[in-house]
Amino acid sequence: MAYSERSLLLRHVRGQIGKQIVIKQYCKKTVISAYPNMSGIKPSKLQKQKRSKFSDAVAYAQSIIHNPVLKAAYAKKLKKGQRVYNAAIREFLSRER
């Protein structure tokens, strides 16, 4: 893993290059690391449940934002700077507890 401070070349670069290198920003440092190999990782039962629940929340939020009437109703309830998509996910996850 390589670290860089104040690099002109990588100052605003983030993300991956192919499936080989990942470039991350932590505070004022740029970190370059190998792309993670997750092929040997098996999620636990709880992780699978949480992922399924979140997948349902995303589907719910997408159904809200694709319906102009529901999207407008949500937008009225939100403060400035909040997004309908995020609010719908938050609502779905909070009522599913």
pLDDT per position as a tens digit, 16-48? 888 899 988 887 788 888 999 989 999 999 999
Q: Which pTM value belongs to this model?
A: 0.65
C-alpha distance from residue 9 to each of 4, 5, 19, 27 (Å)? 10, 11, 20, 17
DSSP letter at 6 equals: S
Q: Which of the pair, 17 or 85, is modelled with greater confidence?
A: 85
DSSP string, 43-57: --HHHHHHHHHHHHH
**Strand-pair partners of 54:** none
Question: Rounded to an integer, what distance in angstroms lies between the CA atom of residue 64 and that of residue 14?
Answer: 30
